[in-house]
Copies of this chain bind each other. A is one copy, B any other.
Amino acid sequence: MRDQKKNRRRVQILEIARGIIATKGLRSLKVRDVAEAAGCSVGSVYNEFGDFDGVILTVNRETVQALTERLAGVPAEDPVRQLYGLAETYLEFFAEHANLLRSLFEHRMEDDRPYPDDILQMVMDAFALMHPPLVRLLPDADDVKIALLSRTLFSAVHGIISLGLEERMVAVPPQLLRQQVEQFLDAHLAGLGILPLR
């Protein structure tokens, strides 16, 4: 019963923190706001997460988990369609949760403490989801090279999307951005000797 209660609160704190980050950005996340909204003291937040970075990192961990699940749901029948699907799903997810993704990629630790390895690994694993379809499309290529290509390609897509959705920059209309990503893949896959969709 202790555990149930504790866990319920832990989940509640995370949902509140995630809500604030998603709607107002990471910089607007304050311990006191979270504690008040969760109906507990600031001390409880610290008991549960160690420090405030702990809250942020846990939200980020769940963000990359949710992203991975969404990406894993992309149909894998046609490897070419799968690549387009991964890119477009990433775009959708990024557009829906822009501030959460920014928190994941932009948060810096206090002092010089290292970013938790497990989160980094999860991001890399998500970016490696282009690996299987690429292996099918380039059966003769070295597996290590495909692994690198997968990361490169996903990083490129990430760059196009994260800068394109950056409302700080001259905002790219979402529909145009989708087209931009598709055309990018068209050209790049063609360059790899893969027949694009259109």
Q: Which residues of A contact B (CB under 8 A)?
A: 24-28, 102, 106, 108-112, 114-115, 120-121, 123-124, 148-149, 151-152, 155-160, 162-164, 168-170, 176, 180, 183-184, 186-192
Contacts and interface: CB of A to CB of B under 8 A. Distances in A.
Contacts of A24: 112
- What does DSSP make chain A's interface, helix, strand, loop or mixed? helix
Given A160-B159, A170-B124, A110 B27 contact: yes
Nearest to A164: B155
Contacts of A155: 159-160, 163-164
Contacts of A108: 25-27, 102, 106
A156 B168 contact: no
Nearest to A111: B28
8 contacts: A24-B112, A106-B106, A152-B180, A156-B156, A157-B159, A159-B159, A159-B160, A159-B162
A152 B183 contact: yes
A191 B186 CA distance: 8
A151 B168 CA distance: 15
A121, A148, A184, A187: residue with the most chain B Cβ atoms closer than 10 Å: A187
B148 A156 contact: no
